[in-house]
Amino acid sequence: DQQVKQNSPSLSVQEGRISILNCDYTNSMFDYFLWYKKYPAEGPTFLISISSIKDKNEDGRFTVFLNKSAKHLSLHIVPSQPGDSAVYFCAASGGNNNDMRFGAGTRLTVKP
Amino acid sequence: DTEVTQTPKHLVMGMTNKKSLKCEQHMGHRAMYWYKQKAKKPPELMFVYSYEKLSINESVPSRFSPECPNSSLLNLHLHALQPEDSALYLCASSQVPGHFAIAPLHFGNGTRLTVT
């Protein structure tokens, strides 16, 4: 039962352009959403988060948008840089607050 | 640099072996987690320790046995594993159990386990 879904396993963009990574969820009890970034041979690192009381959160080049009615969130990276190339995981928590559910990840490749 | 340290980085074990995975953090975090990740799949929660007590066991088979000797250490004891248990095992910690709004997970680099 995959409650958090990232339907695009991979995404390739040109340096300087916008990267948009998408995530859908099914559990309406989720009230906090996070994005993690993972480089090869490293563990995931926290990138940015958003609470369900907001629809946008921005941190530098990274912006996360939340559409609660559609149960959809997206991560925008502008401008994209080659160092952003990594696997990005969407995660959600809520209800049982000791649990966090992850999507399968999207591999982003930013070409110079 | 990761502030959550996992050892070993790689482990190959037979189905009759007993081995342990170790995880250590010195950030004063009071919650520690074990996740299992198979290729192209999301990390799946296995266990959560809150204030050194087991608070979540996601119906994990008894061949996996967690242990939290103190607030800085988390072990995962392995016995009689199956080849399908081969995966990346990730340890994580957070400052406060749950409450991810103020205390996101910090992950280690994982242990790549192969069961032969």
Per DSSP bridges, beta strands B44-50 and B53-57 are antiparallel
Compute the average pLDDT of residues B63-87: 96
Per DSSP bridges, beta strands B10-13 and B111-115 are parallel
State the Cα angle at B91 between A63 and A73, rounded to 5°: 20
pLDDT value for A40: 86
Q: Which residues of B touch A (CB under 8 A)?
A: 2, 4, 6, 31, 40-45, 48, 50, 55-56, 90, 92, 97-101, 104-110
**Residue A107 in this model has a pLDDT that exceeds 90:** yes
Tell me the pLDDT tens digit for each residue of B11-63. 999 999 999 999 999 999 999 999 999 988 889 999 999 999 998 888 899 99
pLDDT value for B1: 47
**Residue A59 in this model has a pLDDT that exceeds 50:** yes
Q: How far is B77 from chain A (nearest CA, A)?
A: 21
Task: Find which of B95, B100, B111 to mutate to test the A interface (most A CBs within 10 Å of its CB).
Answer: B100
Task: Tell me whether residue A40 is exposed, middle or buried, using C-beta atoms within 10 angstroms of its C-beta: 0 to 12, 13 to 18, 19 or more.
Answer: exposed
Percentage with pLDDT > 90 across chain B: 77
pLDDT value for A73: 97
Of A38, A109, A51, the C-alpha closest to A77 is A109
Q: How confident is the model at residue A98 (pLDDT cuts 50, 70, 90)?
A: low
- The Cα–Cα gap between B18 and B77 comes to 7
